[in-house]
Structures are given as structure tokens and as C-alpha cells.
Amino acid sequence: MADSPYPNDGAQAVLEIGPRTIRVVSGGAGARLPDALVAAALEWIDDPVGLFKGAPVAVADLWREVLLAAVGPHTDSLVVVHPPGWPEPRIARVLAAANTVADRVVAVPSAEWTLPRPDREHPKPEPVGRRRWPVAIAVAGITLLPAVLLLRPPPSPPADPPTSPVAGSLVEGRVVVRIPRLWSVERITAGPGSRRVQVSSPSDPDVALHITQSYAPETTPEQTAEVLARAIAREPVGVFTDLRPDGRVAGRAAVTYTEARPGRIIRWAVLSSGPTRIGIGCQSPPGREDSIAAVCDDAVGSARDVGTEAGPATSNPQ
């Protein structure tokens, strides 16, 4: 069964947060959340340190305790439903805490999430077949992902087009990225190369995002480009082209390059956020770059280290 950014079967949960309460909608640990803990977490959510029972405590610790009480020490996936208009740093704080108790976390504004009624099961998105993308190069924490499709998923019913508004935030490791609602998410943690995520359109299997990350503090774009150039030189001529250390995508400075595979093109942007180097690959069929353009810009513009307070439009600091 395909991975999805929304819970279906297994150890999964939905948590509704704010503005004054935290409620487990489905799944979870089944325990009543301590009122004092919930009140403190919500009251001090925008501050680094708050008060709990009269004592100072790190707000990040408050939120970890809230999430632990809500869903237990481990769940496969967690949907965090939050009030519309919450600022990005506030969402990132909750997602960082959620990422300590769940393998996959997605944030969704409440206006775009229909909470299930007791007499009706919440509709689930249609599954998309799993795919595996082998890794060609893994050098100094940088991974080049070839786009050889090993297994084409079965046709899926029409869904939101790739240019539809992006409605959710995906946390993977140290990174948070905005992704489209109902696109399938596959976390790949085994095999060669670094940990990565593939986010695919449910209406077109050749339209997708690829997300990689590596810890690379104090690395300049020039150094990143040099490592990529050495890796690309070992690949067949014409597969990886247009390497630019001074590229710009979605208003952000990035090292960019293009990967060409039969039937698909992936345009890569490698950028820095705090100590983390993030690679976003935007895949589409040749000549149809517009099918991924809006989703790509939003993913690149929003991608950041969860510990970085800068907003999604902040330029590469290096």
C-alpha cells in the first residue's frame, strides 16, 4: 500500500491543535491530556522559555511532553490540524516536537481538513503504487537521484492538479517543506545514499518532488558546486547538466543542475538552511515543466531546517 501524507491504516493519528485546546481526533495513546500541560504549551508557544507550575521550562520540552501524552512514544504518521493563519515558526515548533514521536508528520490548516464525525469515517485519499528510485551517486552527503522508473503505479482517479494550492507541511529529519495536499509521500531510509523523500502527484506519476538533506555546517555554495561537479564527472555524459553555483529558485540562492532521464527531467536546487543542506528535485515530463513549477517554487521557498526561525522566503545565508 502506498504511503500518504494522511493516516489510513496502522499506527497513525490525527491531532487538532489550538487555538485554546489540543484534541486527539483519531488514533493516539488514549490518555487524557493534562490540562495544565496543554495550557502552558499553548500559552508559551511563541517563546523559547515558558512557565509550567510556576517553574521555567523550555517550550520545546513542553510540546514534546504534550505530543508524547497525545500519541505515545511512536506512531507511523501524524496529521497536525492547526488554525488557519498560524505563522510558520509556530507550525515548525509543533512539527519539530511531533517529529520526535512520529515517523512522518504533516501539518494541515483546519480550513482544509474535514474532521470526522462520530457517525462517519473520514474519507481517505486513494493510494498510489509504491516506487523505488535507486541512488547513483552519494558523495560527501550529496545525493544525485536518477529518475529511472522501476514500477509504474496503476492509474489513479483524477485529483488536485499539480498547480493546486499547497496545503500541508512535511517534516523529515531536520527539514520542513510544504507539499500539496493528497500527494503521496514515500520515505526511503534504506539502501545506498542519504535518507530522502519522494512526493508524487496522484494524477500524474511522472510529476514529483524529491527531497534530500545532509548536515553540512559552514559549507559555501562554491564548495557544494565543486563536490557536485566531481560526482557528475563520473556519470554518463549528458545525464547531469547545467550546474550553476549561483542559481536562484523561488527567490533563494541555490546550487542548481538538471538531470535528464528517459521520459522525465528533474531540475535540482541545493540550498542551505542553518547547518543543513537541502536538495529539492522537481520532476516533470520534458516540455511540461509548468506541471511542477508552482509546487516546486513553494517547496524550495519553504524548505528549511526546523531549528531555523527564518521564514520560508529567506534567502540562502551563504
pTM for the full predicted model: 0.53
Residue that the C-alpha cell 504549551 belongs to: 41
Would residue 132 count as lying in a domain? no
pLDDT for 245 equals 92
Would residue 130 count as lying in a domain? no
143, 263: one domain: yes
Let me know how many helices (H) and strands (E) the chain has, helices first.
5, 18
39, 172: one domain: no
Give the up-direction half-sphere exposure of residue 278: CA atoms within 13 A in the CB hemisphere. 30
301, 211: one domain: yes
172, 274: one domain: yes
Q: Which helix (H) or strand (E) holds 278?
A: strand 276-284
Cell digits for 270? 541545493
282, 210: one domain: yes
Burial (CB count <10 Å: 0-12, 13-18, 19+), residue 85: exposed
Residue that the C-alpha cell 535528464 belongs to: 260
pLDDT (tens place) for every residue of the chain, 318 residues total: 333 333 333 467 888 997 888 988 887 766 778 889 999 899 888 888 888 887 888 888 889 888 888 888 778 888 899 988 888 888 888 888 888 888 888 888 888 776 444 433 333 333 333 333 333 333 333 444 433 322 223 333 333 333 334 457 888 777 889 898 788 888 766 654 456 788 999 888 899 999 998 888 888 888 888 888 888 888 888 889 999 999 999 999 999 999 998 889 999 999 998 888 999 999 999 999 999 999 999 999 999 988 654 444 333 322
pLDDT for 129 equals 34
Domain count, the chain: 2
Q: Give the structural domain span for 20.
A: 12-112
**CATH number of the domain where residue 291 is located:** 2.60.120.1690
